[in-house]
Amino acid sequence: MNKMQRNFIIGDNWVYYKIYTGKKTADTILIEIINPIATLLIEEKVIDKWFFIRYGDPEHHLRIRFHCLDKNNIGGVMNKFLPRFTELLNEDIIWKIQSDTYKRELERYGENTMEFSETLFFHDSLLTVSILDIIGSEDEELRWLFALKTVDNLLNNFGYSLDKKLNLFEQLKNGFGQEFGIDKNVNKQIDLKYRNYRYQIDSLLNLNNNSKSEFFKIIEILDHFNTNIRPVVDKILDYNNSNLLMPDLNNLLISYIHMSMVRLFKSKNRLHELVIYDFLYRYYKSSTARKAYLKQQNS
C-alpha cells in the first residue's frame, strides 16, 4: 500500500492560494468569482474538487485549494484566475495573494480517510457558498440558524441517534465552556437567546421535504449535499465498522463540524462555535426529554 502523500509543493497536484481580503468581501469573492470559475474548471476536467477555509494569521484571508487531475494542468487553473485576481488587486478588494505548500493534517483526518475528507470538504464548501448566496451579506441571524441545521444534517448522514448527538454535544459544550471560562451570567445570556429563538430553532431542525417553510430553499441544497457525500460517508463508515478508522468517528466528525463552522462564519469563529454547540446540546436535551415523556404516555 502506497504511503499517503503529506506535502504538496507548488507544481504538484494541489494548487493552494491564500487570498487576503476583508471579512465581508470574502463572501462576495467566493460567490461571484471562486465558485463559478472552479465549476468551469470541473466541467473542463481540469480539477475534480476544491475547498476553502477562512483564516487569520493575523490578517484575514481565504485559503483555497484546487485539486488538479493532472499536474500538467496547474497552469490552466492559474490562467483562469489570473485576470480576476489582477482586477481585484487593482481595485484594492484584495491586497495580497500567495501560493503555498499544502500540508495534509494526516493525524487529524487519518491516512485511510484523508482523501475522503477532502471530498467532503469540497461538498461542504459548495454547500457553504450556496448558503452564503441565500442569506446575503447582512443576515447574520440566518447564518447561525443555518449552521445549526447543517451540523445536525451532517450527523444524520453518519447515522447518529439522538442519544449519540446529545453525548457528543455535551462533550463539545463542556469543552468550549472551559475554554471560554463560562460563568453563570454568560450562561444566562446564552439561555435567554436560546429561549428567544426556540421556535425558529425547532422549526428549522425539524424541517424536511414535506415541510412548508420560509427555509425550504435550504432543504433543497441540503438534499443535493446529502446525495453527493453519500459515497464518501459510506466508505468512512465502512472503515469505522471494520475498526480501521483513526481517529475515531466522534473526533473525525468534531473536526468536520469545526471546519464547516470556519467556512460559514466571517469572524469570531470560536465564539460562534460556543453558541452553536450549546444550542444544539439544549435542543437535543429537550428532544430527549420530550421523547421519554411521549414514550411514557404511550406505555
d(CA 150, CA 126): 13
- If asked whether residues 289 and 164 sit together in one domain, one would say yes
Confidence of residue 271 (pLDDT cuts 50, 70, 90): confident
CATH at residue 61: 3.30.70.600
Residues 6+ apart with CB under 8 A from 299: none
- Say if residue 290's pLDDT is above 90: no
Query: What pLDDT band is residue 210 in, cutting at 50, 70 and 90?
Result: low
Residue 193 in domain: yes
Is residue 170 located within the same domain as residue 93?
A: no
pLDDT above 90: residue 213: no
DSSP 137: T
Residues 188 and 89 in one domain: no
β strands within 100-157, DSSP E:
102-103
Question: Domain ends where: 103, 123, 149?
Answer: 103
User: Residues 199, 292: one domain?
Assistant: yes
Q: What does the alpha-carbon distance between residue 94 and residue 220 come to, in Å, rounded to a whole number?
A: 33
Among 58, 76, 103, which residue terminates a domain?
Answer: 103
Residue-wise burial string across 35-64, b where 16 or more C-beta atoms lie within 10 A, e elsewhere: bebbeebbeeebbebbbbbbeeeeebbbbb
Is there a single domain that holds both residue 32 and residue 165?
no
Instruction: Kindly state whether residue 195 falls inside one of the protein's structural domains.
Output: yes
Task: Quote the domain boundaries for residue 178.
Answer: 139-298
Reported as a pLDDT band with limits 50, 70 and 90, residue 209 is: low
In a domain, 130, yes or no: no
Residue 173 lies in a domain: yes
Indicate if 75 and 191 belong to the same structural domain: no
123 belongs to a structural domain: no
Across all residues in the chain, what is the average pLDDT?
A: 93
CA–CA dist 175, 1 (Å, integer): 37
Return the percentage of the chain with pLDDT > 90, whole number. Answer: 77
2 lies in some domain:
no
pTM of the model: 0.94
Q: Which residues contact 6 (CB under 8 A, 6 or more apart)?
A: 103, 104, 106
Judgement on whether residues 154 and 98 belong to the same structural domain of the protein: no
Number of domains in the chain: 2
- Examine the domain organization and report whether 90 and 143 are in the same domain: no
Q: Are residues 76 and 221 in the same domain?
A: no
If asked whether residues 92 and 175 sit together in one domain, one would say no
Angle, CA 179 vertex, CA 194 and CA 177 arms, to 5°: 30
pLDDT, one tens digit per residue, over 58-111 is 899 999 999 999 999 999 999 999 999 999 999 999 999 999 999 999 999 999
Task: Examine residue 279 and state whether it is found in any structural domain, yes or no.
Answer: yes
In a domain, 108, yes or no: no
Per-residue pLDDT at 57 exceeds 80: no
